[in-house]
Structure 1
Amino acid sequence: MAITTSNKCNRFLYKGVFNMLLAGILHRPESEDTAILADHCVTIRLKTALDDVAKIEMIYADMYLWQEGTPMQTTEMHRGLATQSNQYWTLAVTIPTNRLIYGFRITDKSGQTIGYGDDGFFDDQATNWAVAGHYFHLPYLHVSDAELPPEWVKNTVWYQIFPERFANGDVTNDPANVTAWGQGPVRRESFYGGDLKGVIDHLDDLADLGINGLYLCPIFTSPSNHKYDTIDHFEIDPHFGTKADFQALVDGAHERGIKVMLDAVFNHFGEQSPQWQDVIKNGQQSRFADWFHIHGWPVGRDPQTHQLNYETFATGAAMPKVNTQNPAVQDYLISVTKYWVEQFGIDAWRFDVADEVDHGFWRKLCGALRAVKPDIYLLGEAWHSSQALVNNGQFNAVMNYPLTQPIPALFNHELSLKEYVGKTNLQLTQYRLPNQQAMFNAIDTHDTPRLLTTLNGDVTKLQAALTLLMLLPGSPCLYYGTEVGVAGGADPDNRRCMNWQPNADELALKAFVKQLVGFRRAHASALASDELSWKIEGQCLTLNRQSATQLISGRFNLGTTAVAASATPAVLSVGVHEHQLLAGGFEVSIN
């Protein structure tokens, strides 16, 4: 059967009747399209154009056994998630050995077929399927190479704390210019006295809320309130407390079943760091001169252009960028991370501005940390799809802003239901399944406006957005104060003091969030791995998580009129009244 092509539409045409969009078909071996789940078990994924293909079969074998006469296996692939332009097909296969070659037989809607493999497309004929070069190859499934994230992460609900604003437990270590707790407006230079003792004092509150992961913004010596301009990576900032305080915090968290994650800033140092001060003092003779990206001497601003002659974080002169390709810098930073793991028993690291740091350094650092603590969780900050940072010797996950940012846009009616589903499905296909289960899913953080403010103060929308977040795969995170309705615009307003005197409405919101966290943790395994699908009925959006024995459904009414509620009683709901799901309401049910 001869193959011809049309340059106009980039389609294969078989005898004038076969029609398929080739540009939409793609599979890449040893990428996010192949996820090693366990020994002998791998999930394969293939992308086609949307509504363009009727069926796909995967044809596979161990190459050596096949060459000795063992026949190929043929299994039909599952129609998985669809984005705005593409359909994804998946198949989990268990193979007797850890070696795999495979190709795809693609059937169009007219019933015509084509082969697709490592060297592109070929006629669906036995002689072609007998050619080893037509197949994709996974020469050996090394489970260790998959760097599966720690199991505990997909069962974790995180709580992010900006320490300076959470609670003041020790007034004796307050900065001299401290502002009364909660007094506003919040300014970039404001200090309110939050510290580690304040976190310790409220560990029971966090445990009662149900969270089991605590993410602390930087706590190391720094002149700022945010501590992202580190002076000394081996010391606790004196306004936050002591190492004894930190050990008490870690021990207290662990006693309550709460993991602890620290925040490291390795893209840049603070201008008051001893390394940078030595460069300023000694210039090119400084032993730290090559620790930074310096393009002229003395360091500073060019008198003609007024531009900095050294690289920084963004355009901030006070945060000189570190040369992480320098072996001495690498050794220093790796020693920092190992110190806090080995001496204090922390469980995870989050790395600031991870996408601007050398990949080779990340591989070296992550390998060193996994040697110290095999089940450590390593998280990179990135604001975009960042496959290059995940796996391949680097992080377990990144901060999953591309997945979570469309959520408030959906409830603010800035996206249609169909647009939201397409965008969300796209992000759910960006990483291997094990990594997707460990992605850090936070809608708002210290770097974004607070969710309640983004949703224009609508508490019901806030509850709906958090519920949708908890139904998605990944490791969800609450920003401190969300549970009691703390609002705030862009930085620094998003860093308001924690509200420790909530009113009745805020306490009701806290009770809902506690119920939601409890639901998520009770069903964490299912919500990490069960099949995900969507259903749109008018202005109602339903997210289904289906296993062989259970269906968890979240249904959201984004319209302006009530609709009939689900027949199955809701385990969690807002806006259900007399068997009606009111406008803006939602319900979660389990069948």
Structure 2
Amino acid sequence: MVIQTPEWVKNAVFYQIFPDRFAISQPPQGYNNYLQGANLEPWEQLPQLQTYKGGNFWGIIEQLDYLQELGINAIYFTPIFQSTCNHRYHTHDYYQVDPLLGGNQAFREFLKQAHLRNFKVVLDGVFNHVGRGFFFFNDILENGPHSPWLNWFMIEGWPLSAYDGTYPANYASWVGNRALPKFNHDEPQVREYIMQVGEYWLNQGIDGWRLDVPNEVVAEGFWQEFRQRVKQVNPEAYIVGEIWCPAEQWLDGTQFDGVMNYQFTEATIAFCGGDRILKEYVEIPPYYPYPALNAAEYAQKMETLLARYDWQIQLTQLNLLASHDTARLLTVAGEDLDTVKLSTLLLLTFPGAPSIYYGDEVGLPGGIDPDSRRSFPPKSDWNRDLLKYHQQLIHLRHEYTSLRTGDYQVLFVNSHVYIFSRTSGSETIVVAVNNGEQAHNVTLNASKLDLNIDRILFGDGSFSVETNSNQKILKLNLSARSGLILK
């Protein structure tokens, strides 16, 4: 079969936003029914598991200029629907944006403003489980075996114990957490309900869905139908799954357009960070940015990864270095900025859509949840050098087609140096990374590789081209712990 994936994703640079923590503001005049809430944790204070900061879509609208200047053209939000937790994975109503975020009216205004600036918007679809306050489950709590919605969940006995941990919960829930009842996806009404939710928000104007723990939805044909229904509304809608492991099962062209590419994440951090990676921050999530990789080992992992899926799928993978489910890279790397920079360079030159976790571009630290979900910092706390580094690399990705959709070829590896090219038509970009503590000189036969390097686009180091016995020799001088991009 010919696999088709959304064209816009191949040209996208994503920004992942945890809505409670990114920005907060008041609505413009005329939006008088906004419920701001009280008892909010101070914005600058380190977050606790159950506290709210009060971030909202009014604040996000005001930050669209900043995101445009950074070079972002797509936003992925963690859940935004009505819920009783700050991360909003405990859904109460899939048709209502959480009132603390500004409700449906704020989201509609955000969507309008975002699309006027050519941003794409992807929402988090939590379709495996719900919160206890979800109407259909709440009816079971109230009416027991007499509820008309009994088959929507997997009830195992009576009486249900939704809150008292001294008794069995007696219903299936996500990882045994009684706060998160699990849908019965074999029930036709549940299936149709979720399909309609997916269609509804696409009709409201969103551009895709990120699917939470989709590997746990095992009903036969569920995701195939979801894709069909979604693509009927918008053939260019993006469907990306949260799959941490190799994902051939879901990336066959009949289900998802891509997954959150933690296979790229772990290898890239292990190569760029090496022994600097602090194990206490990476042992809980199911990814493995350790042990350290040398350049040859990294090259082998990248080639294996690129051979795993169809090229059209590769171009719509969601590549990332951190997310709300991991510690932030700066903290993982023991505050080593070179690790962050090298990893970011590889992120923004690899096939697929790069995704930046909010605040990483200005040096926001953070350990394991909830610390990784800190509030976006004031300008006085920004690392301006790191922000400029991100802006420059994002600009290059937008400027050169080969960095977005070009072929990927490894040109050279040794223990510390990794060099590859991205080629689209007559345009070739060469990317060289040195993860070592010493500068390295590298010589390549440019004639054999059909390279005609004429200038440096980005990075530290130098190059020269010599002709020797009718052969063109490319010599690179790579500074320690740095990268170089040439055209």
TM-score clears 0.5: yes
Query: Which whole-Å CA distance do the structure 2 matches of 1:317 and 1:304 have between them?
Result: 9
CA distance in 2, matches of 1:295, 1:407: 44
Deviation at 1:577, TM superposition (A): 12
Deviation track 1:400-420 (CA, whole Å, cap 9, x = no partner) reads 111222111111221122222
Taking the aligned partners of 2:355 and 2:41, their CA distance within structure 1 comes to 28
CA drift at 1:537: 3.3
Q: Which residue in the other structure is 2:473 paired with?
A: none
In structure 2, what is the equivalent of residue 402 of structure 1? Answer: 263
Aligned position for 1:197: 58
2:420 to 543, 546, 549: 543
Separation in 1, partners of 2:74, 2:163: 46
Answer whether contact 1:403 1:428 (CA < 8 A) is retained: no
Give the direction of change, closer, same or farther, for the CA distance of 1:409–1:294 in structure 2 (3 Å limit). same
Corresponding residue for residue 508 of structure 1: 385
Instruction: Decide whether the 8 Å contact of 2:299 with 2:418 is kept in 1.
Output: no
Alignment match of 1:153 (pick from 9, 21, 24): 9
Deviation (angstroms), 1:565: 7.8
Name the residue aligned to 1:183: 45
1:573 is the counterpart of 2:451: no
Q: Say if 1:147 and 1:396, in contact at 8 Å, map to a contact too.
A: no
Q: CA deviation at 1:465?
A: 0.5
Aligned equivalents of 2:10 and 2:123: distance in 1? Answer: 18
Q: 1:352 aligns with which of 204, 207, 212?
A: 212
Correspondent of 1:497 among 359, 375, 382: 375
| Structure 2 CA distance for partners of 1:224 and 1:285, relative to 1, 3 Å | same
CA shift digits 1:499-545 (9 cap, x unpaired): 13245x71221111111111112224553231322411342111222
Alignment partner, residue 31 of structure 1: none
8 Å Cα contact 1:437/1:529 also seen in 2: no
Change (3 A) 1:160 1:510: same
The equivalent of 1:273 in structure 2 is: 134
Tell me the residue number matched to 2:352. 474
CA distance in 2, matches of 1:400, 1:257: 25
Work out whether 1:421 is the aligned partner of 2:299: yes
Shift in Å, 1:423: 1.9
Alpha-carbon shift at residue 491 of structure 1 (Å): 0.8
Cα deviations across residues 153-180 of structure 1 (Å, max 9, x unaligned)? 1110000000000011139743322111
- Aligned twin of 1:65: none
Q: Name the structure 1 match of 2:481.
A: 584
> Counterpart of 2:308?
430
2:408 maps to which of 514, 520, 531: 531
Q: Which amino acid aligns with 2:457?
A: V
Count residues in correspondence. Answer: 443
Q: What amino acid is the match of 1:573? A: G
One-letter amino acid of the counterpart of residue 519, structure 1: L
Per-residue CA deviations over 1:193-224 (Å, capped at 9, x if unaligned) read 10111110111111111111011111100010
User: Is the alpha carbon distance of 1:303 and 1:476 closer, same or farther for their aligned partners in structure 2, counting shifts above 3 Å?
Assistant: closer
Q: Distance in 2 between matches of 1:498 and 1:576?
A: 37
What CA deviation, in whole Å up to 9, does each residue of 1:353-401 have, x standing for no partner? Answer: 1111135121112211111111111111111111221235311111111
Aligned letter for 2:459?
Answer: S
Partner of 1:257: 118
**Which amino acid in the other structure matches residue 372 of structure 1?**
V
The 3 A distance-change label for structure 1 pair 302 and 146 is: same
Match of 1:561 among 438, 451, 468: 438
Write the mapping of 1:14-163 to structure 2, written as runs, cut at 5 A: 145-163=1-19
Deviations 1:121-140 (A, max 9, x none): xxxxxxxxxxxxxxxxxxxx
What is the CA–CA distance in structure 1 between the aligned matches of 2:463 and 2:334, rounded to whole Å? 24
* 1:528–1:153 Cα change, 3 Å: same
- Seen in structure 2, the aligned counterparts of structure 1 residues 292 and 457 have a Cα distance that, compared at 3 Å, is same
**1:461 corresponds to:** 339
8 Å CA contact 1:229, 1:271 repeated in 2: yes
Q: Percent of pairs identical after alignment?
A: 35
Shift of 1:315: 2.4
Gap change, CA 1:416 and 1:306, over 3 Å in 2: farther
Whether contact under 8 Å (1:453, 1:487) holds in the other structure is yes
Change (3 A) 1:247 1:304: closer
Cross-structure match for 1:86? none
Counterpart in the other structure of 2:277: none
1:299 match: 160
CA distance in 1, matches of 2:57, 2:147: 36
Query: Separation in 2 of the partners of 1:587 and 1:469?
Result: 14
In the alignment, the residues of structure 2 paired with residue 403 and residue 585 of structure 1 have an alpha-carbon distance, to the nearest angstrom, of: 19
Match of 1:452 among 330, 352, 366: 330
Which letter maps to 1:448? T
Secondary structure at the residue paired with 1:471? Answer: coil
Q: Report if the CA contact (8 A) 2:405-2:424 is conserved.
A: no
Cα offset, 1:445, TM superposition: 0.5
Residue by residue over 1:454-480, the C-alpha shift from the partner in whole angstroms, topping out at 9 and shown as x without a partner, is 121122221110110111111110010
> Hey, which of these two has a bigger chunk of strand by percent?
1
Aligned residue for 1:389, secondary structure, equals: coil
Q: Unaligned regions of 5+ residues in structure 1, if any?
A: 1-144
**Following the alignment from structure 1 to structure 2, what is the Cα–Cα distance between the partners of residues 165 and 320?**
26
Q: Which moved more, 1:290-299 or 1:312-321?
A: 290-299
Which SS does the other structure have where 1:226 is aligned? coil
CA deviation after TM superposition for structure 1 residue 293, in Å: 1.8
Equivalent pair of 1:352/1:380 in contact (CA under 8 Å): yes
Check whether the contact 2:401–2:424 (CA below 8 A) recurs between aligned residues. Answer: no
- In the alignment, residue 326 of structure 2 is paired with which amino acid? T
Does the 8 Å contact 2:455/2:486 carry over to 1?
A: yes
From the superposition, tell whether residues 548 and 529 of structure 1 become closer, same or farther in structure 2 (CA, over 3 Å): closer
| CA offsets 1:78-132 (integer angstroms, 9 cap, x no match) | xxxxxxxxxxxxxxxxxxxxxxxxxxxxxxxxxxxxxxxxxxxxxxxxxxxxxxx
* Coordinate RMSD, CA, aligned: 2.4
1:155–1:525 contact (8 Å) kept in structure 2? no
2:237 aligns with 376
Q: What CA distance in whole angstroms lies between the structure 1 residues aligned with 2:485 and 2:165?
A: 63
Distance 1:441 1:367 in 2: 25
Mean alpha-carbon deviation: is it higher for 355-364 or for 306-315? Answer: 306-315
1:332 matched to which residue of 2? 193
Match of 2:363 among 485, 489, 508: 485
Quick one: which amino acid aligns to residue 133 of structure 2? Q
Aligned partner of residue 320 in structure 1, secondary structure: coil
Given residue 352 of structure 1, which amino acid in structure 2 is its aligned partner?
D
TM-score, normalised by the number of residues in structure 1: 0.71
Quote the offset at 1:558 in angstroms.
1.6
Structure 1 residue 301, shift from structure 2 partner: 8.0
Aligned mates of 2:340, 2:232 — CA distance in 1: 41
SS of 1:379's partner is strand
Structure 2 CA distance for aligned equivalents of residues 314 and 213 of structure 1 = 31
Distance across 2 between alignment mates of 1:304 and 1:151: 49
Q: Which amino acid aligns with 1:518?
A: H
Deviations 1:261-295 (A, max 9, x none): 11110000001111111111222221221111222
Which is further off, 197-206 or 399-408? 399-408
Q: Does 1:166 align with 2:22?
A: yes
What residue ranges of structure 2 are gaps of 5+ in the alignment? 28-33, 275-291, 444-452, 465-475
